[in-house]
Structure 1
């Protein structure tokens, strides 16, 4: 398998829904929701890309970082890389349905495990979305993370308990999905949560809880206060609210306040290992990858997912050599160029 072949197959399988652009920046597909683009003008999707692009790195080659260790520990489990597959659903209305929901998430969870890391599954208006994710995680002996839409508390707790029962590593809520139109159209409204509602959910769950969709310092601090074990700094891929800043713009201030108190994931616009390194330097503990994983699955199944994740990991390692970082713990703001 090579990247050119994988992209060619993915382009055919995603025809009409994703152009598989040579560089995925959200400009060609702006406003295509459902589909693979960003909501409205597409500015939030594009902001993720631009914010990362604007960060420059200091090249350093007089050091002993010759074979960097890119392993991390997450919720007591050692991973081969600080890169996880983001929760993605909706193959039928976002990706053209050449691959079923069940097959897609199996590819993501299995391919991630084979790469030595973890895949996340998502939730949606169709019960098949979440059920397929749990089935895939169960088949991989619990090596996956289940993310649930911000439904009524009783429904979230019920779904979280199912994830617990199959041995999932963690569970979470993508609270940034509070206004998803697709959920409302399917008669399953979602909405924001109060601190008390979040405390109630977390008090009933016995595995680590993740809050996905944090974009401000105050909400990151609230996540710590309610007992979440991790946050995902994310604007939902630019697919829910137009004109948000890019994740790389807000991450540093969030990290300054909560780094060390809670695990920080960054999600949005990751296309390479260099992007991963930038997010780590800005304060993330690990990153989530979405659209490249879709290309991997639609271009090569679970082997394609593994190929994409390992490609990004290799790029990360090379970038760490060229910035003087021996391990993930040594990556910090010193590698970022500042005028």
Structure 2
């Protein structure tokens, strides 16, 4: 696929919602929520970018690693890459509506599958958002992870039941969506959850349960204590609370706190394979990518999503070779510059 042409097409289709900037760092779209920007001043979105940019890779070429393996296993599924697609919805009010929610979900899930990756799907005020993700997952053999907003307990468990029926391999909740403006605008109440509520939800399903939106070690400990299978270190792309740290700043202490007791995912301003390697080195077991995938979907459909993920995997392979890292797991032990 012509990558430049794909980005140009996406820029046109996303006009007024995303400029598809040469550097996607949150400066131009600050405060554009709904839209693709960061909330308020945009500081949290920019903090994700700056924190990851500040991490330096030590180039090492005097070693015996001549081939690298990017394959990983996630909830029993063998994947070609540790790069996953982050859950995203709200095509009409965040991305301009030049694509239906159903088409977007299918493009994302199918594109990820073509790349040997895994797509996570989202939830939102319009029932079509969660429904579209579930339908895309079911159509692709259950290969996907539906994420539910922090709604009332009964509403969450009802959606978990539907995820089970769709054959999903895991399910989760993005507690970082507790203060989403877009949900409030559509009279869809969401809010924080305490440990007892998390435990109740985890106990309601036999599927691995993921808690997305962890930004402190103490809350990572709560995830462990309540039986979660995984966490996502995330500030919701900087879209819910202004002036948070960047994910790369807090990830090492969180990964240290859980010490392998659950799977650690991380997201936030991942733009290249080198960024993926940085987050793996800081303690993530796998990485979620958001905004670049939207560019792929609008610029080239499922093929565009695959192109974005394939490009990042190729960049990851090169970065691993030039740092002496043979597998994603070995990145945890690499020495950063």
- TM category, shorter: over 0.9
1:146 and 2:146 correspond: yes
Residue 335 (structure 1) shift = 3.0
What is the DSSP-based 3-state SS (H/G/I as helix, E as strand, rest coil) of the residue aligned with 1:335? Answer: coil
1:16 equivalent in structure 2: 16
Q: Is the 8 A contact 1:282 1:333 kept in 2?
A: no
1:71 and 2:71 correspond: yes
Distance of 1:17 and 1:63 partners within structure 2: 46
Q: Is the 8 A contact 2:325 2:334 kept in 1?
A: no
Distance of 1:149 and 1:253 partners within structure 2: 26
Q: Is the 8 A contact 1:145 1:171 kept in 2?
A: yes
Q: Which runs of 4+ in 1 moved over 3 A?
A: none
1:159 and 2:159 correspond: yes
Unaligned runs of 5+ in 1: none
Distance of 2:312 and 2:166 partners within structure 1: 29
Residue 92 (structure 1) shift = 0.3
Distance of 1:112 and 1:69 partners within structure 2: 18
Distance of 1:231 and 1:318 partners within structure 2: 28
Aligned ranges 1:314-325 → 2 under 5 Å? 314-325=314-325
2:116 equivalent in structure 1: 116
Distance of 1:35 and 1:329 partners within structure 2: 35
RMSD of aligned Cα (Å)? 0.7
Q: Is the 8 A contact 1:271 1:292 kept in 2?
A: yes
Distance of 1:109 and 1:124 partners within structure 2: 17
2:42 equivalent in structure 1: 42
Residue 183 (structure 1) shift = 1.1
1:295 equivalent in structure 2: 295
What is the DSSP-based 3-state SS (H/G/I as helix, E as strand, rest coil) of the residue aligned with 2:36? Answer: coil
Distance of 1:83 and 1:74 partners within structure 2: 11
Residue 333 (structure 1) shift = 4.8
1:137 equivalent in structure 2: 137
Aligned pairs, number: 337
1:127 equivalent in structure 2: 127
Q: Deviations over 1:95-115 (max 9, x none)?
A: 100011110011000100111
Unaligned runs of 5+ in 2: none
